[in-house]
Amino acid sequence: MLMLLAAVFVVATAGSLAGGAVVRRFATAGGAVVPPRADRWHTAPTPTMGGIAIAAATIAGSAVLLLRPDVAGAVSDWMPVPLAALAMFVVGVLDDRLQLSPVAKLVASLAIGAFLVFALAGGEVEGALPSIFTLVAVVWFAGICHALNLLDNMDGLAAGVGLIAAVFLAVLLAPSLGPALVVLLVAHAGALLGFLYWNRHRARLFMGDCGSLFIGGVLGATSLVPVYNAPLAFISPTVIVVLVLIVPLFDTGFVLVLRRLAGRQATRGGIDHVSHRLVSLGFSERSAVRILYLLGIAGGTTGWILMQSGGAEPMLPLVAALGVVVVLVGIYLARVPAYNAEDFIALQKSSFAPFLKDLAFRYHAAEVLLDLVLITVCYYAAYRLRFEGEGLDDFLPYFTASLPVVLGCKLAALYASGLYQRSWDTFGLRDGAVVLRGVGFGSLLAILTAAYFYRLVGFSRAVFVLDALLLTVAIVATRASFRAMNLVAATRSKRSRRVLVYGAGAFGQTLVREMRANQRWNMNPIAFIDDDPMKARRWIMGVPVRGGLDDLQATMSRYAIDEVILSSPLINGRVEYRIREICGTLNCPVRRLRMEIT
């Protein structure tokens, strides 16, 4: 079987490479070229309809099945899946050529999804799944199709994310899918890999709606199959599929919510996606796409761990942790303006602006809800770590009974500690002390309450200790996340100037702190130079001290410094003259920090 899959992958990859060249030539000759537009990201006319190459290569790769009659015999059972994908491909072709309305595409995808669900169910009357599931399945198929369509907003993004998802679906759900659909997914992955040669930054060929809807059709249809033919519990394949498709689901939810709140049409294209906001933070287009690739890999890897654990319940803390990370990233990126901040102006003028001001910008309500989740997950994880196997089932009733008490005690203690008055962007050691005080007091309160009501019968003291440790780490990690993201955005931004700070004393440290906190400065502190030999070769605030004046020229050349800032008023006379002389030979500007209180 492995040899067959390898042959399928190679044929599909080669077919997509060759097909991309053919489609590009005919699209250019036939005028199927997308010009630059204000609501799109590309800056040069680019041929489109690359989805033809993807679909043709997927079919060609899948045709290798004919070499294995034993596998090919099962194709007819799952033929509705590729047929649904091809139907979405046709809808995409019509949209590329005739500009279908959003409603027309939505109706078409729902209708195709309905026939797919009917075909997968086999028209069975006895043992048919509930009506609500049928409705959810139809909406799921249409939703995934349009999620991939929306995700096609930056070079290589939809193709790469689709490739990652196809690989993980084939690996994780192979027993539920059967060999024929695994071959289809492997062929699809190969086709997307070959297409990436043409679609990576800077793209020489776009996939068009025919490509994105076809990718969505393949992934959406195959993700429904495990529910009908799954040896696993129903919840496990559902959670795994959501994890594997986390990137398109996250991007679609992010865009639809923010467009709705800003009063923009949900179906209108724009440069307000997750990828665009990452670029607005200063990441290059390639870096933004790679970050979303990593998120897709993280989701698939979490799904793999879930599979190895034997179900969803044992790995609930890990799944919840990934969910919290995605939500935090979404909240952080929602603060990045799009459309020259017109979306923020629309939000502030909306009828629910007071609510949004508190929830989306001050985050107090969101903080409490987040801590509610963290307290629950950490308390459950503590039980999981303390008890294993059959012993866990004996003690879980005590977890369920005491959870409301633990929630109440810890939320009250965190509020009393002053945690909810602390800013996430400047979270530091003093804020960490507040967390320790709140968690410690909350844990003590929970123990005393459990002792009063239950006499601690059936409770393990180790659970409370583990819970306190886990909750402290979780709260510190979430609160420090914005500061960490600010630091990453500042240091990875392609717009940031690489700054060398001369003087690693109090003024220099204040300057570095402000560079990292204020992204509008577009400054990235690369290194310190300081004449104090006690500071040489040390790290201060995460920035290395590369020596003294004698090391200045070598350090500037080694780290491609764009600017030198003198941080201390004590740097003057001969030293300042020598600094400016060295920087002059390297055509590097020198500025001085001035701090005044008037």
246-261 and 316-334 helices cross at what angle (nearest 10)? 40
CA gap 191, 57 in Å, rounded: 5
pLDDT in tens, 39-75: 566 667 889 999 999 999 999 999 887 676 666 555 6
Report the distance separating Cα 339 and Cα 351, nearest Å: 21
**Which residue segments constitute the domains of the chain, with CATH numbers given?**
2-354 (no CATH), 368-490 (no CATH), 496-592 (3.40.50.720)
As a whole-number percent, the residues of the chain with pLDDT over 70 amount to 85
Q: Tell me what pLDDT residue 157 has.
A: 94
Identify the residue with better confidence: 342 or 583: 583
Q: Mapping DSSP to helix (H, G, I), strand (E, B) and coil, where does residue 138 land?
A: helix
Three-state SS across 247-272?
A: HHHHHHHHHHHHHHHCCCCCCCCCCC
- Report the distance separating Cα 183 and Cα 174, nearest Å: 10
CA distance 330 to 251: 9
Q: Looking at residue 53, what is its pLDDT?
A: 96
From the list 172, 212, 213, 175, the residue with the least C-alpha distance to 299 is 172
pLDDT tens by residue, 509-565: 999 988 887 777 888 899 999 999 899 889 998 899 999 999 999 999 999 999 999
Helix axes 429-454, 390-416, angle to 10 degrees: 120
Pairing status of strand 523-529 against strand 497-502: parallel
Percent of the chain clearing pLDDT 90 (strictly above): 49
Residues pairing with 500 in the sheet? 527, 564
- By the 8 A CB rule, do 435 and 479 touch? yes
Tell me what the mean pLDDT of segment 185-193 comes to. 96
Q: What is the pLDDT of residues 127-151, one digit of tens each?
A: 556 677 888 899 999 999 999 999 9
Q: How confident is the model over 296-341, as pLDDT tens digits?
A: 999 999 989 888 876 556 667 788 888 888 988 888 888 777 655 4
With tokens 């929630």, the residue in question is 407
Q: How far apart, in Å, are the Cα atoms of 354 and each of 243, 262, 347, 348, 358? A: 34, 14, 10, 8, 7
User: What's the distance, CA 354 to chain centroid?
Assistant: 29
The pLDDT value given to residue 233: 53
pLDDT at 338: 66
CB 587 within 8 A of CB 561: no
Report the C-alpha gap between 537 and 531 in whole angstroms: 12
